[in-house]
Chains A and B, each alone.
Chain A
């Protein structure tokens, strides 16, 4: 199945809801209606053999109306085809896809940790790379690069330490 055939199949299933395009040799499926996002992913897995989940990517666009964009990277081993399913939202809340691909668990936790995307329904949504007491989400564009306070100002371990510059 080529990307054109896949596009035709998906357009029939989800009319007016998708925008499929190819950019720099990568195939993108933009889900315009965020409500159909999980239905599109389930259809890709069940009817187009996209069983292998590669990655979950979140991008912050502070100047756009839809501030957060999520890209799911999928590969079909049967058809040797890679697609990127994109969905955008005004706030940082998206439904989880851990019930479709169990491997999305750790990928979504990373995006929550670094980008602050809240995946609703995720079984174990907590920080993974940064410590629990870290404040803020560093991959957001409004995260300050300079003049940051000590990240463990709270003296979590009760050692009687004072932090100052």
Chain B
């Protein structure tokens, strides 16, 4: 006779080579039968010591390190870091550069969300979406290649502006992309939103209440999926986001399905911002500030003027000095609030740089979300967390 009342907690290992952990995330799961009792994430397999490396590099040299944090949206990371350094100097960014920054950041958000919907759906059994989402992501990466020369780690946003202006082809491609993208989102939603299997796998899974998300510090779509109306683009404006009209999607339910709906709406809202930015962007203009404290002198100047040559040599070889003090800049990255806390001792390199990585903080709520669910739901919960291990391990 089988006794069904036996309760025995055993510990199983998930990852770091598990396909649904999106990298090298190891989860130590205590299960009672199939029910999760406790989940403990074991991270650090990809630790590169970015914060320590930054302490021995000049402010310019840190930019390529930030690319490698959240490698699905490298330009958002560049933007957060550059805005933090610019806070030390109060630099005025040229108009065209501001618009290009918004365009690049929103394109990164779309690309990151597309990878999320593709892999999240793949993990819980909806194979088709993967192919369609990666098709559109490919378009964005092609545009990055045309505009910045790199598909992923482009380091294109620099302190004081962006590296160089975009070619005409970039805007032509972006225009046709924004025109068709809404119908692409319709396509993904047709495959998933009313799909019965998708709903069964996501509704009621990984619940977080509005109180929980603030206590655990989980930002971004996790916060908005739980009914907290918070977006740093509106609530602590940076750049020129106050010039665009868009809505912040909020869902009350707080489960995986609500977060899915928030992210799908964010894709549409990002597309709206892209369209408005393309309309408003000035046709010509500088893309790098002429502030001599941070900007490299232009090549024309360097060839003709001795002072510009010295200045350029000085900034490249030794770096520029930031004033003494501490500052922080957070931006609404695709995964949540990405922030850089910089401590300066008046030298050419940061005394301390702390990266507030959204994926890392969101992982802190994993146990809260997963406890009481089935082991198979853990895959959906890790997927809805949208973890990127480059950012968690830093």
Shortest CB distance B202–A (Å): 24
Shortest CB distance B266–A (Å): 18
Q: Is B43 an interface residue (CB 8 A)?
A: yes
- Is A59 a contact partner of B44 (Cβ separation < 8 A)? no
| CB contact between B215 and one of A24, A25, A51 (< 8 Å): that residue | A51
Q: B79: which A residues are within 8 A, CB to CB?
A: none
| CB contact between B87 and one of A25, A54, A114, A138 (< 8 Å): that residue | A25
Number of interface residues of A (CB under 8 A): 37
Assembled-state Cα–Cα distance A124/B211 (Å): 23
- Is A107 a contact partner of B44 (Cβ separation < 8 A)? no
Q: Is A92 an interface residue (CB 8 A)?
A: no
- Is B51 a contact partner of A129 (Cβ separation < 8 A)? no
Q: Is B321 an interface residue (CB 8 A)?
A: no
- Is A51 a contact partner of B88 (Cβ separation < 8 A)? no
Given known contacts A53-B217, A57-B341, A57-B354, is B364 in contact with A84 (CB within 8 Å)?
A: no
Q: B394: which A residues are within 8 A, CB to CB?
A: 129
Q: Is A148 an interface residue (CB 8 A)?
A: no
Assembled-state Cα–Cα distance A11/B107 (Å): 45
The majority secondary structure among interface residues of chain A is mixed
- Considering only residues 20-70 of chain A, those with a C-beta below 8 Å from chain B are 23-26, 28, 51-55, 57, 59-60
Given known contacts A59-B343, A73-B356, A82-B236, is B215 in contact with A106 (CB within 8 Å)?
A: no
Assembled-state Cα–Cα distance A107/B326 (Å): 20
- Is B47 a contact partner of A55 (Cβ separation < 8 A)? no
Shortest CB distance B92–A (Å): 15
Number of interface residues of B (CB under 8 A): 42
- By beta carbon, the residue of chain B nearest A130 is B44
- Considering only residues 311-333 of chain B, those with a C-beta below 8 Å from chain A are 325-328, 330
- Is A105 a contact partner of B328 (Cβ separation < 8 A)? no
Shortest CB distance A1–B (Å): 14
- Is A101 a contact partner of B230 (Cβ separation < 8 A)? no
Assembled-state Cα–Cα distance A51/B352 (Å): 26
- Considering only residues 69-113 of chain B, those with a C-beta below 8 Å from chain A are 87-88
- By beta carbon, the residue of chain A nearest B322 is A24
- Is A106 a contact partner of B341 (Cβ separation < 8 A)? no
Assembled-state Cα–Cα distance A99/B236 (Å): 28
- Is B328 a contact partner of A77 (Cβ separation < 8 A)? no
**What per-residue 1/0 map shows which CB atoms of B207-218 lie under 8 Å from chain A?**
000010011111
Q: Is B150 an interface residue (CB 8 A)?
A: no
Q: Is A6 an interface residue (CB 8 A)?
A: no
Q: Is A162 an interface residue (CB 8 A)?
A: no
Assembled-state Cα–Cα distance A106/B351 (Å): 23
- Is A77 a contact partner of B230 (Cβ separation < 8 A)? yes
Q: A102: which B residues are within 8 A, CB to CB?
A: 215-216, 364, 368
- By beta carbon, the residue of chain A nearest B47 is A129
- Is B51 a contact partner of A139 (Cβ separation < 8 A)? yes
Q: Is B167 an interface residue (CB 8 A)?
A: no
Q: B368: which A residues are within 8 A, CB to CB?
A: 102
| CB contact between B361 and one of A60, A71, A107 (< 8 Å): that residue | A107
- Is B339 a contact partner of A54 (Cβ separation < 8 A)? yes
Q: Is B391 an interface residue (CB 8 A)?
A: no
Q: Is A103 an interface residue (CB 8 A)?
A: yes
**Would you mind naming 27 contact pairs between A and B with Cβ atoms under 8 Å apart?**
A23-B327, A24-B87, A24-B325, A24-B326, A26-B326, A51-B215, A52-B217, A53-B215, A54-B217, A55-B217, A55-B356, A57-B341, A73-B339, A73-B341, A77-B214, A77-B230, A77-B235, A102-B215, A102-B216, A103-B216, A103-B217, A103-B361, A103-B364, A127-B44, A129-B44, A139-B52, A139-B352
Q: A103-B364, A114-B51 are in contact. List 9 more A-B contacts (CB 8 A).
A: A24-B325, A24-B326, A26-B87, A52-B219, A54-B356, A60-B352, A103-B216, A106-B361, A145-B56
A residues lining the B interface (CB < 8 Å): 23-26, 28, 51-55, 57, 59-60, 71, 73, 77, 80, 82, 84, 101-107, 110, 114, 127-131, 138-139, 143, 145
B residues lining the A interface (CB < 8 Å): 43-44, 47, 49, 51-52, 56, 87-88, 211, 214-219, 228-230, 235-236, 325-328, 330, 337, 339, 341, 343, 351-352, 354, 356, 360-361, 363-365, 368, 393-394
